[in-house]
Structure 1
Amino acid sequence: MRNNNTRFAVGLITSLFFLWGFALNLNSILIPHLKKACQLSDFESALIDAAFYFGYFVIAIPAGRFMERYGYKSGILLGLLLFALGAFLFFPAAESRTFGFFLGALFVIASGCTFLETAANPYITVLGDPVEATQRINFAQSFNGLAAMLAPLVGGWVILSGKNLTAADESAMSADELNAYLNFEASAVKLPYVLIGVVVLTVAYFFWKTKLPNISEESSAESAGSIWKEKNLILGVVAQFFYVGAQVCASSFFIRYSYYAAGVGEKTAANYLGIALGAFMAGRFIGTFLMTYVTAARLLAIYSAINIILLLAVISLKGMFSIYALIGVNFFMSIMFPTIFALSIRGLGAKTKQGSSLLIMSIVGGAVFPVIMGRVSDLFNIQFSYIVPGLCFFVIFYFAMKNSHVRGLELGKAH
């Protein structure tokens, strides 16, 4: 039922998309930053993404079961509390400059985000007209895109120092001088993450005080039986696994790639990354509009094919054009996560929470593919390693073609 309470609920749920988008996209800043502060290889720095996205894999099913028993609102509140706790843990992690501590804090943040995504993605699709579900989730995800654009700009400004020591610089410093420099770099994350924790706790307070509409996910013949018999859902889980891997690969090594391909420094590269993620945000709004005229699955297929072509340019070209091509990849990735999600859970009825949990588990692709990409980079170079996300888009294209007949989406109803 569409009413003022439902519209307010849509707005409140949409704020969650911004929060986890901001935290997630700060990883693109943390990778080059902690690479310096903790003296890591490309492979080791990729463990930042691995720790974050592994949290999704471990927590997704427990999150779904928790919400089956206690409801979406309780899951959202628990997710926000875990999110805030992980952010506060960055302070002692920076004090000790222990990479494992940072990874643990990221895992806790990711655990909280898993609860939020498991709740918010299906919740936003069922709050309103089922035919508009794909457009609604893409609109909400647009604020995730806004956060994705702001995170590297803000993070690049307050976290990155712009100073990179060469091997000669390090050898010229005494042990105490080097240790002081590394401690200074590590301490840059303290204030930003404490502030994030405070903001998240504030949002949790508003959720606690707000009555949210209940969601009815009625049983039907279509929703009977094992979740593993839902072939389109399982194909969607595979597609989402490859998509998230591709998305994380494309942005996580953007700063490193910019220096290798065009000699762009880290602070300037962080600004270009902000532009790329701004293109990602714009793509969400534009994609939502285009779905008025083109079916979601068909647009997904077109965007996947374009990204395959753009990544060939990223792999083979040098200079600023290669960076522009990588920015283009971000634009055409924009609709993919919410579209795959909405297409995958269509018609699941009472199994929507289970399906959502599996789709959130598939986010573990963000833990797997960047590590593969980091290893390829160490073996060859950062530019050639972009073949990894390039191959991922073939899987997404296949999923889109298998769903090309879908027009409206039959999801649950809100009341």
Structure 2
Amino acid sequence: MKTINELTEAQSYLVASASYISFVVMALPASYLLQKVGYKIGMSIGLFIMAAGALVFIPAAEARTYWMFLTGIFIQGTGMTILQTAANPYITILGPIESGAQRIAIMGIANKVAGALGSLIFGAILLKGIDEVNAQLDSVSASEKALLLDQMADSVYTPYVMMAIVLFVLGFLMRKAPLPNVDAVLDDNEQSSEKSQKQFFNILICGLEC
């Protein structure tokens, strides 16, 4: 993205920060959404939002517009916030409370491994030949430079379309999966001011930790 949009160092740092900003900004809305729709539907919505964020990268690459890329990253971060805010307590609720921490730890390890593999795969696809292109950019005319940058931008289409398709499918499967849609609120018999505050606080912390 830095090469395609000819970004400064400060602008490239903002790209890396966009998803973290969404985690902080969207933590409260995510907890409110989960209280309305439940954990299972919330995870499905999170996946759909991430897919929509991936699709934003297509017009962003076509126009080579920095702020559109940031928007796509923010949208994906929003979906991730909803997904992980729902996933952590949902994993705890689905099984014995005593082993809830173990299930969350396993999920965290799987998340880290998948993130590392995803970065390697996407890096291999999107950064293929980047060194050669960077070397050429300094020695070509303005029109040739624009053509090279357009070609680099075109390489974004296929991986992000594939990502969007996978996320949409996962969102659909999550919605149809034979899993209980546990409400993110307490039953009437268990409700109390103190417990409600603790539940809200736990959901908020999960969102911030994402």
- Both structures adopt the same fold (TM-score exceeding 0.5): yes
- The correspondence of residues 100-111 of structure 1 with structure 2, limited to 5 A, is 100-111=67-78
Alignment match, 2:194: 224
Question: Higher relative CO (CA 8 A, sep ≥ 6), structure 1 or 2?
Answer: 2
* CA deviation map 1:120-173 (0-9, x unaligned): 011112222222121111111222122122112211221102333699854421
Deviation at 1:98, TM superposition (A): 0.7
2:167 to 196, 200, 203: 200
- Counterpart secondary structure, 1:186: helix
- The correspondence of residues 303-382 of structure 1 with structure 2, limited to 5 A, is 348=198, 351=199, 353-363=200-210
- The correspondence of residues 49-88 of structure 1 with structure 2, limited to 5 A, is 49-88=16-55
Alignment match, 1:380: none
Structure 1 residues 81 and 153: CA distance shift in structure 2, 3 A: same
Alignment match, 1:112: 79
Deviation at 1:362, TM superposition (A): 4.9
Structure 1 residues 171 and 158: CA distance shift in structure 2, 3 A: closer
Structure 1 residues 138 and 165: CA distance shift in structure 2, 3 A: same
Residues 61 and 361 in structure 1, CA contact (< 8 A), matched pair in contact too: no
Residues 82 and 207 in structure 2, CA contact (< 8 A), matched pair in contact too: no
- Counterpart secondary structure, 2:2: helix
Give the CA RMSD over aligned residues: 2.5
Taking only the aligned residue pairs, the percentage that are identical comes to 33
Q: How many residues align?
A: 206
- The correspondence of residues 226-265 of structure 1 with structure 2, limited to 5 A, is 227=197
Alignment match, 1:313: none
Q: Does 1:187 align with 2:34?
A: no
* CA deviation map 1:32-83 (0-9, x unaligned): xx12111223321111122112112222111111111221122122212211
Residues 50 and 76 in structure 2, CA contact (< 8 A), matched pair in contact too: yes
Amino acid of the residue matched to residue 103 of structure 2?
R
Alignment match, 1:137: 104
TM (normalized to structure 2)? 0.86
Alignment match, 2:124: 157
- Counterpart secondary structure, 1:172: coil
5+ residue gaps in structure 1? 1-33, 228-347, 364-415
